[in-house]
Structure 1
Amino acid sequence: MRRILLRLSYSGGAFRGSARQKGVRTVQGELEQALGRLGEGGRTLFASRTDAGVHALNAPVAVDVKKRWQPQRLLCALNAHLPEDIRVWAAEEVPSDYNPRYRALRKRYCYLLFVGIAPAAWRGFVYCIKEKLDYEKMCLAARRLEGTHDFSGAIVRQNRKTVWTIERFTLEKAAVCGGEAVCFCLEAKAFGYKMVRSLCGLVVEVGRGAVGAGQVQDVASGRRGWRRVVLPSQGLWLVRVDLEGGRCGWRSSLTYTPIWQPLPPLLRT
């Protein structure tokens, strides 16, 4: 049995998330069906899970195969059997014990917000609002959320962990089609359930004037009452996952280059 590390991109609108679930369409389910059509039924190990409706540009997945596939041939064969909303864009062999879930150094998520009337081609990939936002205050709020904090007031908890570390939280904007595209970029080793969309929702509330930029840490920790705002999943993108090598000293031969071009300064990988 050999292990191949794939890099997936997918449009999440028609999926109930990346992880396999009985009776619903998922990214893992579609990938395993495609492997089955190739005579492979080994394990599939995702580095990071995404919720229903979330998109991905660079999602690492390790798969076990019995046949002696060359990575590039497996890539082409899988794409021939996968639906159009999932593509494999890179593949390489890794040690047989390599599990990307436990080798993630950091993850980058981007949330795309459009102020105005979004281009029709972006439908389903951004969240649109009409009211103007105070961009400078939003940038200040994002900076104040960087570092290690108690985020119990701003995350949807599935376990008892409330203290998380945000390594980077920045905003970028660009004028597009008479409106304004705003990209929220967050980097961390890990994120809590719906944490990215909740923190972006908090920053949007700052932009609307509902929360002061100097209050975000108190709001995020739950020390100040606040109705949690979780932005819709359609604007969220898993942009990349940085991985470390396994025990055998493997290092990825992949280099990161932009793979989605409509907003190159906003979604660079």
Structure 2
Amino acid sequence: MQRNFLIKLCYDGSRYHGWQIQENALTVQQVFQEALGKITGLSEDIKACSRTDTGVHAREFCVSLKTESPIPPERLLAALNHYLPEDVAVRSVEQVPLDFHARYSCKGKEYVYQIWNHPVRDPFLRQRALHYWYPIDEALLDRAARHYVGRHDFSSFCTLDRREKGDLTRTVTKSQVTREGDMVLFTVAADGFLYNMVRIMVGTLLRVQQGKLAPEDIPGVLAAQDRRAAGPTAPAWGLYLNRVFY
């Protein structure tokens, strides 16, 4: 009898070229499938909630797995964690209806971008946060970030490639900048995200910090629907897929 599992992973993306299988590059999907194959010995039907890019991390990444293996969820969790490398872990495994799909059943996602705001770099945050040594006014950036909320065409905040076609409109439900000590956090939730969208949002916020844009300029950047109107793409290593909503 076929069953469908929802598997929630977390991983440090530092040494991986994102989630999706690639030729001649190590990916999270590759090590996950290798671990799964050692357990079930089957060619399983795996669907992921999204793709993450090279160097991006995930605190919650969801996979749906259809399998005819009789293994119970709790044993599958333990076995996967036994075979996975130390920078990838399974947080939970639960049986879900057969029509559940990790990508198409998803209602939205939340990302967090971490900026270490201190004159001295922290070696323990290497490849885990962007080091920005000039002072950051988090209240100023929060004012700017609020303009991202709503339903907009995010063409200005997208690196166009073959994966981005058609409607580039997305609905952002949460966008804020906060500070925890020397760590500045940009948190954004939406019904979907375009390629490099969050990283370009961060790069644009840093343009506001540098005085090259005002918070009130963000609506104009959105309206331009032109990648050149927004800021640079922030590095991947500060970005975390934080939550997936179903």
- Calculate the TM-score normalised by the size of structure 2: 0.92
Deviations 1:85-114 (A, max 9, x none): 110010011122321211111100000011
Aligned 8 A contact 2:153 2:225 in 1: no
**Match for residue 179 of structure 2?**
173
Instruction: Report percent identity of matched pairs.
Output: 31
**Match for residue 122 of structure 2?**
119
**Match for residue 250 of structure 1?**
none
Query: Displacement of 1:32 after TM fit?
Result: 0.7
Q: Which moved more, 1:81-90 or 1:158-167?
A: 158-167
1:25 aligned counterpart, secondary structure: coil
Aligned 8 A contact 2:154 2:225 in 1: no
**Match for residue 197 of structure 1?**
199
Aligned 8 A contact 1:132 1:208 in 2: no
Deviations 1:219-255 (A, max 9, x none): 2332786363110000000011011xxxxxxxxxxxx
Query: Displacement of 1:56 after TM fit?
Result: 0.4
Aligned 8 A contact 1:35 1:41 in 2: no
Aligned 8 A contact 2:8 2:62 in 1: yes
Partner Cα separation in structure 2 for residue 221 and residue 229 of structure 1: 17
**Match for residue 246 of structure 1?**
none
Number of aligned residue pairs: 239
Aligned: 1:51 with 2:53 = yes
Kindly report which structure 2 residues correspond to 1:27-106, keeping only aligned pairs within 5 A, or say none: 27-38=28-39, 39-106=41-108
Deviations 1:190-244 (A, max 9, x none): 001100110111111111211111101112332786363110000000011011x
Aligned 8 A contact 1:154 1:222 in 2: no
2:19 aligned counterpart, secondary structure: coil
1:7 aligned counterpart, secondary structure: strand
Query: Displacement of 1:184 after TM fit?
Result: 0.4
Aligned: 1:236 with 2:242 = no
Aligned 8 A contact 1:153 1:228 in 2: no
**Match for residue 149 of structure 1?**
152
Unaligned runs of 5+ in 1: 244-269
Partner Cα separation in structure 1 for residue 77 and residue 215 of structure 2: 46
Query: Displacement of 1:76 after TM fit?
Result: 0.5
Give, as a single letter, the amino acid of the residue that structure 2 aligns with 1:70: P
Partner Cα separation in structure 2 for residue 118 and residue 174 of structure 1: 16
Aligned 8 A contact 2:110 2:244 in 1: yes
Query: Displacement of 1:118 after TM fit?
Result: 4.0
Moved over 3 A (4+): 223-228
Alignment match of 1:128 (pick from 114, 126, 131): 131
Query: Displacement of 1:23 after TM fit?
Result: 2.1
**Match for residue 168 of structure 2?**
162
Query: Displacement of 1:21 after TM fit?
Result: 1.4
Distance 1:51 1:227, change over 3 A: same
Aligned 8 A contact 2:170 2:191 in 1: no
- Calculate the TM-score normalised by the size of structure 1: 0.84
**Match for residue 257 of structure 1?**
none
Aligned 8 A contact 2:113 2:238 in 1: yes
Distance 1:103 1:223, change over 3 A: closer
Unaligned runs of 5+ in 2: none
Aligned 8 A contact 1:142 1:203 in 2: yes
1:35 aligned counterpart, secondary structure: helix
2:217 aligned counterpart, secondary structure: helix
